[in-house]
Amino acid sequence: AQSVAQPEDQVNVAEGNPLTVKCTYSVSGNPYLFWYVQYPNRGLQFLLKYITGDNLVKGSYGFEAEFNKSQTSFHLKKPSALVSDSALYFCAVRGSVSNTGKLIFGQGTTLQVKP
Amino acid sequence: ETGVTQTPRHLVMGMTNKKSLKCEQHLGHNAMYWYKQSAKKPLELMFVYNFKEQTENNSVPSRFSPECPNSSHLFLHLHTLQPEDSALYLCASRVDAGSGGTEAFFGQGTRLTVV
């Protein structure tokens, strides 16, 4: 069965410091991995994805994520956090053997960036 | 703006009412999804439509009835709901060409309150 785990309910970081939001996954076949961000009372906004190729993926707003197959992880990172990055972040996975395109989400991690 | 529009944005309904949620996209996507987002829970996939055909019903109670008249429109018909059905209902769409690597675009959601 496909699953995604985001082990931290909340991550706190000071503005200007690097941030990491963790994600591990379990999937049949090769994984397609995604990060989304959600601001209050809004839908989910796509940040970046890993399909194949380079393990380091760059996305919107200066975010990047590193795919690690041996650790089945896809952690989201940013070198220097902004207060405006404060939001709810979701990791999601779709397996290559899924015939419905089902996207499975983690429970979300709240990122709090303090000035 | 993601190109996926949901109406209404907010809905309050009694347990005996019948209402419908609407989702619309003109992105040329052929797959559409309904998700439920409750507080403190991961996003729950409810229904998947591909080329207007329902390909997944994730054990959703019959008081939720989806309809997909064409690839651009998706409805969720609601009747005799329970207070625990109060949640943010998110619609998403994507291009499904057999590969799992395309990202989903989400609408801003309908905040449903059942009283």
Are A49 and B103 inside 8 Å of each other by CB? yes
**DSSP string covering B73-100, please?**
EEEEEEES--GGG-EEEEEEEE--SS-T
Q: For an interface test with B, which of A44, A46, A67 has the most B Cβ atoms less than 10 Å from its Cβ?
A: A44
Mean pLDDT, residues A63-80: 97
Closest Cα in chain A, distance from residue B41 (Å): 6
pLDDT at A99 over 60: no
Q: pLDDT tens string for chain B (115 positions)?
A: 779 999 999 999 999 999 999 999 989 999 999 999 998 788 999 999 988 788 888 889 999 999 999 989 999 999 999 999 999 999 999 998 777 788 999 999 999 999 9
B58: nearest CA in chain A? A102
**pLDDT of the residue at A97:** 65
Question: pLDDT, tens digit, for every residue of B84-104?
Answer: 999 999 999 999 877 778 899
B30: nearest CA in chain A? A101
**Residue B32 near chain A (CB below 8 Å):** no
**pLDDT of the residue at A100:** 61
